[in-house]
Amino acid sequence: MGSEWGEYKLGDIFIASNQGVNTTTENVVYSDSGIKVVRAKNVLPYKVDFHDVVYVDSSTYRSLKDSVKPNCGDILFTNIGSRLGSAALIEKEERFIIAWNVFRIVPKKDTVDSKYLTYFFNNKATREYIRALDSSSTMPFVSGKVLRNIDIVLPPLPEQKAIAHVLGALDDRIELNRRMNDTLESMAQALFKSWFVDFDPVIDNALASGKEIPAELSERAAARAALGDKRQPLPAEIRTLFPDEFIDSAELGWIPKGWEVGSLADVCFVKGGYAFKGKDFTTSGFPVIKIKNINSDRTVNITDVQHIPEDIASKVENFLLSSGDLLMAMTGATVGKFGLLIPEIEKKYLLNQRVAKFHPIDTISKKIWFVYCCLSQKNVIDYIVNVAHGSAQPNVSAGTIMKTSILKAGDEVVSVFNSMVDGNFTKMLSNGEAVQTLSNLRDTLLPKLLSGEVRIRNAGKLVEASEMRLPERRNNLGNKEANI
């Protein structure tokens, strides 16, 4: 740390700071659509997750004060609730408001760089310090007054920007991998919709054979026919797996002949995790995935975990997890949330009670991707969530999940689908591992840069050394990626 570094109170480097809108005192009613409302659950370290938000209508939005409508360059910080301590920078203009459990910060740009301050808040030592200031006996809470009184030591503004640039370069790589995964999943979901929702292969076969197409599907059939040579029919060995006519079912309307209304039990079985005792959890050993680790963006958080010692873990090996396992929360406010596990390299994870793992039926396919895409259908996940909310505390059993209705195609069709999207999901897991490597590097560099232990010229060399290891992992997946 150089002599040119200055000491401040956080409040001295804020232009303004405030909590979000209090829905009770300001009579705000959420709606099904409109302007997004960001709550504490949506503020993750370094980013805002817009996947699971509520809304207010336009008139409500206009009636609210500007201080609950963040601008580009503002920082959102969670100072209330279980996610206390996460900070995200708003990097582009977007209309939304913040709820009461989100704290908005407008930094003084002539004193502190917004990105640098976001990194300061997300630094592990800062988060632990702020959490230790919790003044509530019920819900975790650190007031704005207390936050504004926290000490911070700042390097000169140019050095702040340089530090933020080095760390930002890692975050850019992280974001690129995440966007690649969004694209890869969209491709897989598009194929699922084409085959199992829109029935494109069946319509194509019916058009080719001259079979009658139901009126309800005529618009889709006309669109397929209009494509002509651009329709790109499937290879013969796959095309023949699909019928060329439809039947009317009481539950789902017109479906391909030979297909039937089934359940998730036809393509997978579901098993909950192990009921570990509270006294067995430690700070080291085998990490345990709990309900809280299932994120709303279909990922699994592997950083905020408790552990089980090896002697206990050795007795419950049936509950060990692997990369790509599909998990779902079975209890509480997050019931029905699901995601794919991407473990940290060389770590073994265990599954806790009230978290479900979906196992494929090996005689159909050893892959779980078809089930993942089924869960992505609104009617499927809505059924699971609605059944869970039928009790005092949201809760769903493994058996109930397996009873969820789906359209059952032929086993061979499901197997072929899994094979065709396997490259996408394999690459998604690889990208997820790269995200973890880059995140670990960022989180290792962060406290060293903030303290001055590592200066910028040395940080660049560390980043280059780490990034040299990433292509090796990508090259090992070259053959699998070629199948996408």
pLDDT digits (tens, 9 = 90+) for 162-179: 999 999 999 999 999 999
Q: Identify the residue with better confidence: 232 or 246.
A: 246
pTM given for the model: 0.87
| Domain end residue (candidates: 365, 385, 408) | 408
Q: What CATH number does the domain containing 351 carry? A: 3.90.220.20
Q: Is 214 inside a domain boundary?
A: no
Q: Is 206 inside a domain boundary?
A: no
> Does residue 306 have a pLDDT over 60?
yes
Phi (first) and psi of residue 345, to 5 degrees: -55, 135
How far is 185 from 51, CA to CA, in rounded Å?
15
The predicted pLDDT at position 88 comes to 98
Q: Which pLDDT tens digit goes with each residue over 411-456? A: 999 999 999 999 999 999 999 999 999 999 999 999 999 999 988 8
Q: Which pLDDT tens digit goes with each residue over 446-471? A: 999 999 998 887 655 555 655 555 54
In which domain, by residue range, is 283 found?
A: 266-408
> Does residue 383 have a pLDDT over 50?
yes
Phi (first) and psi of residue 20, to 5 degrees: -80, -170
> Does residue 482 have a pLDDT over 60?
no
The predicted pLDDT at position 296 comes to 84
The pLDDT > 70 percentage for the chain reads 94
Confidence of residue 4 (pLDDT cuts 50, 70, 90): confident
The predicted pLDDT at position 2 comes to 62
The predicted pLDDT at position 463 comes to 58
Are residue 150 and residue 17 in the same domain, yes or no? yes
Q: Identify the residue with better confidence: 138 or 312.
A: 312
| Domain end residue (candidates: 100, 124, 154) | 154
> Does residue 161 have a pLDDT over 60?
yes
What string of H, E and C letters represents the secondary structure of the chain? CCCCCEEEEHHHHEEEEEECECCCCCCCCCECCCEEEECHHHEECCEECCCCCEEECHHHHHHCCHHHCCCCCCEEECCECCCCCCEEECCCCCCEEEECCCEEEEECCCCCCHHHHHHHHHCHHHHHHHHCCCCCCCCCECCHHHHHCCEEEECCHHHHHHHHHHHHHHHHHHHHHHHHHHHHHHHHHHHHHHHHCCCHHHHHHHHHHCCCCCHHHHHHHHHHHHHHHHHCCCCHHHHCCCCCCEEEECCCEEEECCCEEEEHHHCEEEEECECCCHHHCECCCEEEECHHHECCCCEECCCCCEEECHHHHCCCHHHECCCCCEEEECECCCCCCEEECCCCCCCCCEEECCEEEEEECCCCCCCCHHHHHHHCCHHHHHHHHHHHCCCCCCECCHHHHHCCEEEECCHHHHHHHHHHHHHHHHHHHHHHHHHHHHHHHHHHHHHHHHHCCCCHHHHHHHHHHHHCCHHHHHHCCHHHHCCC
Q: Is 333 inside a domain boundary?
A: yes
Q: What CATH number does the domain containing 88 carry? A: 3.90.220.10
The predicted pLDDT at position 268 comes to 98
The predicted pLDDT at position 151 comes to 97
The pLDDT > 90 percentage for the chain reads 84
**Tokens linked to 334:** 């997050």
The predicted pLDDT at position 469 comes to 53
Confidence of residue 121 (pLDDT cuts 50, 70, 90): very high
Q: Cβ(93)–Cβ(158) under 8 Å? A: no
How far is 431 from 174, CA to CA, in rounded Å?
9
How far is 44 from 355, CA to CA, in rounded Å?
22
> Does residue 94 have a pLDDT over 90?
yes
Phi (first) and psi of residue 169, to 5 degrees: -65, -35
Q: Which pLDDT tens digit goes with each residue over 28-73? A: 999 989 999 999 999 999 999 998 899 999 999 999 999 999 999 9
HSE, side-chain direction, 13 A CA sphere, residue 473: 19
Q: Is 330 inside a domain boundary?
A: yes
**Sequence letter at residue 318:** N
Helix axis angle for 411-451 and 124-131, nearest 10°, is 80
Specify the range with the lowest mean pLDDT, choosing from 303-307, 310-314, 318-322, 464-468: 464-468
> Does residue 474 have a pLDDT over 70?
no
Q: Is 13 inside a domain boundary?
A: yes
Number of domains in the chain: 2
HSE, side-chain direction, 13 A CA sphere, residue 389: 10
Q: Is 456 inside a domain boundary?
A: no
The predicted pLDDT at position 91 comes to 94
Q: Is 47 inside a domain boundary?
A: yes
Are residue 270 and residue 149 in the same domain, yes or no? no
Q: Is 397 inside a domain boundary?
A: yes
Average pLDDT for residues 212-226, to the nearest whole number? 95
> Does residue 301 have a pLDDT over 60?
yes
| Domain end residue (candidates: 154, 188, 205) | 154
Contacts of 84 (CB under 8 A, 6+ apart): 40, 78, 130, 131, 134, 140, 141, 142
The predicted pLDDT at position 477 comes to 38
**Average model confidence (pLDDT) for the chain?**
92
Average pLDDT for residues 96-104, to the nearest whole number? 97
